[in-house]
Chains A and B, each alone.
Chain A
Amino acid sequence: MLNNITIGQYFPAKSVIHRADPRIKILVTLLLIVTLFMAGNFTTLLLCGGFTILSILLTKIPLKMYLKTLKAIWMILFFTAVLNVFYSTGEGDPLFKWKFISIYSEGIERAVFIAIRILLLLIISSALTYTTSPSELTDAIERLLKPLKFIGLGGAVHIFAMMMSIALRFIPTLIEETDKIMSAQKARGADMESGGLLKRAKALIPIMVPLLSSSVRRATDLAEAMECRCYNGGKGRTKLKQLHLGIRDWLILFFAALLLTAVIVLNTLPVI
């Protein structure tokens, strides 16, 4: 029941995007997010949409996977859109008026605009996590944050990256563990699906206590294993996988930059 969580899940495949340098992927994702917020009219938004669709086609990941992440947030999407419809006022006459509620055509336009923007944001960020394994991701973050050492935060960057990779590494383990404990308690007749709020909260105790104790155990084991292998922080540590930028990576970055420029330029033009 817990294995349908898809946000932040790596989806192995052989595609240009999968092979691209994770640092570039993070930068491009950030760049695309900025571009999305820069896009001020439908023309530029459609341009971003086209770019996004092209990118996710290049990832060779079934569209079904992207739709699955949408399922998790469609409520947020829906409410943001609805609120925008009601709270926007326009210049002309309202399309619909009832007591204090009035809907303007601008409001609907705005709602659609914002919904598309959130949708694209979500798709872009899931494309990043789908095509980049957690270890690649943290590796890239560590590398990108390296300049922080100039303000005396070099050690912190490594610790942060290590914490992140450990946390990411243990998400599936803990999900699996939770599943196992739930099954074990269900096998003893634990009832987690019925009853009021208090009863349900109480039903969580048989799951939370073993989960907590096993997390502590795992943490101790991991710490000991790391000590045994002489882990002493980031100092003098080398990488098994060195990241290299290839022509493909520069091209990807170039196209993203091109998109940003195009959006900025098109924004200044009068709306067609």
Chain B
Amino acid sequence: MSILKVEGLTYIYGEGTPFRIAAITDVNFEINSPGLTAIIGHTGSGKSTLIQHLNGLIKTEPGHVFVDDVDIWANEKEIRDVRFKVGLVFQYPEYQLFEETVEKDIAFGPRNIGLDEDEIQQRVVWAAKKVGLTDELLKKSPFELSGGEKRRAAIAGVLAMKPSVLILDEPTAGLDPKGRDMLLDCIVEYQKSENAVVLLVSHSMEDVARVADNVLVMNGGRLAMFGKTQEVFSRGKELEKMGLAVPSIMKIVSALREKGVNLPDGILNVTDAKDALLHLLKGGEPNA
């Protein structure tokens, strides 16, 4: 059984005008188990268009999107229900806040599902806690919050719908390093606790290496690679050709390998690299 499956997806912007652009061309992939998949790609590679197809904001034409093996457009009238299952957090989601209080804004999604008041209240508190918003902030107007708090409030608004597939478009853009790490931790925590499929669009290869189980690479509107984070980043030369980079630490590791240092596979971050190097320096067996 597949949780999310995309089949033959093509989308063209501005058909019949001089601004005609093929945003994505024949994209196919399938996600069968919960986990965090990062979507990377150069600006304009079709990432945003792709994710808007996944919750039915853009009609698949031609192509199909299956969620839990059901074509999301099978019943056009129920497309709204798909959006509760597939939560989408846009870039700079703080600009979509509109209610008088943060609490009411987070409740917007659950209320649209049609839950009863008790359940809504429960979910608001739960979602706020997930993203680390304090109770007193819930009573404030969203326009009084700081940038980072606004961002987290907006994300909580989507989490409160408890989607089984959560998609985030560059959720950490414009945040300071501390805020970025905190937000990423929240997302990872959500993925684990809800056993969800999380898709994360990101430009930060360090972030991707840190949190992603799988990586999906878009290039020129086509799916270029899809596989385990480790596998994708081991194809550094190809990634560079697409205008993408691999995390700095992986560059160092592969440079060391070329010099004959026998480092094991699977090094994605600084901690792993440090451990492996110390192991070697202390005279341990290589590839242990």
* Binding between chains A and B: yes
The answer to whether A185 and B96 touch across the interface, beta carbons within 8 angstroms, is: yes
A13 and B83 contact, CB distance less than 8 A: no
* Other-chain contact of B80, A191, A205, A206 (Cβ < 8 Å): A191
Q: How far is the CA of A186 from the CA of B59 in the complex (A)?
A: 14
Among B83, B95, B98, B161, which residue has its beta carbon within 8 angstroms of that of A186? B83
Chain B residues positioned under 8 Å from A183 (CB to CB): 52, 57, 90
Q: Does A149 contact B (CB under 8 A)?
A: no
Stretch at the interface among B66-74, B106-114, B128-136, B247-255: B106-114
12 further A-B contacts with Cβ under 8 Å, apart from A187-B87, A213-B143, are A12-B18, A180-B90, A181-B96, A183-B57, A184-B90, A185-B96, A187-B83, A187-B88, A188-B83, A188-B108, A190-B112, A213-B95
B97 within 8 A of A: yes
With a cutoff of 8 Å between Cβ atoms, the chain A residues found around residue B84 in the complex are: 189
Q: Is the CB of B109 within 8 A of A188?
A: yes
Give the one of A64, A184, A187, A213 with max B CB within 10 A: A187
Residues in B with CB closer than 8 Å to A12 are 18
A173 interface residue per 8 A CB criterion? no
Contact, CB under 8 Å: B97 / A210: yes
- Which residues of B line the A interface, CB within 8 A? 14, 16-18, 52, 55, 57, 80, 83-84, 87-90, 93, 95-98, 108-109, 112-113, 143, 157-158, 161
- In the bound complex, what is the Cα–Cα distance between A180 and B52 (angstroms)? 11
CB proximity of A241 to chain B, nearest CB, Å: 22
Q: Is the CB of A181 within 8 A of B95?
A: yes
Given A185-B96, A188-B157, A189-B109, does the pair A3, B80 have CB atoms closer than 8 Å? no
Inter-chain contact A209/B98, CB cutoff 8 Å: yes
A113 sits at the interface (CB 8 A):
no
Can you identify 8 A-B contacts, CB atoms within 8 angstroms? A11-B17, A184-B90, A187-B83, A187-B89, A187-B158, A188-B161, A206-B96, A210-B97
Interface SS of A by simple majority: helix
Q: How far is the CB of B146 from chain A (nearest CB, A)?
A: 15
Closest chain A residue, CB of each to CB of B55: A187
| Chain B: minimal CB distance from A177 (Å) | 8
Chain B: minimal CB distance from A214 (Å): 6
CB of B161 within 8 A of CB of A189, answer yes
Kindly list chain B residues whose C-beta atoms are within 8 Å of the C-beta of A180.
90
A104 to B14, CA, bound (A): 46
Residues of A within 8 A of B95 (CB): 181, 210, 213-214
Q: Which of A186, A205, A214 has the most CB of B within 10 A?
A: A186
Q: How far is the CB of A204 from chain B (nearest CB, A)?
A: 10
The residue on A at minimum CB distance from B112 is: A189
Closest A residue to B92 using CB positions: A180
A191: shortest Cβ distance to chain B, in Å? Answer: 6
From residue 201 to 244 of chain A, which have CB atoms closer than 8 A to chain B? 205-207, 209-210, 213-214
- Which of A11, A180, A188, A206 is the most central at the interface, judged by chain B CB atoms within 10 Å of its CB? A188
A188 to B108, CA, bound (A): 7
Q: Is the CB of B98 within 8 A of A210?
A: yes
Q: Which residues of A contact B96 (CB under 8 A)?
A: 181, 184-185, 206, 210
Pairs of residues from A and B, 4 with the lowest C-beta to C-beta distance, nearest first: A189-B112, A209-B98, A184-B96, A188-B109
Instruction: Tell me the bound Cα distance from A116 to B17 in angstroms.
Output: 27
Complex interface: chain A residues within 8 A of B18 (CB): 11-13
Cα A188 to Cα B84 in complex, Å, equals 7
Cα–Cα, bound, A58→B109 (Å):
52
Chain A residue with the shortest CB-CB distance to B58 = A183
* Distance of A213 Cα from B57 Cα, bound (Å): 24
Q: Which residue of B lies closest to A212 (CB)?
A: B98
Question: Is the pair A188, B52 in contact by a Cβ cutoff of 8 Å?
Answer: no
A123: min CB distance to chain B, Å: 18
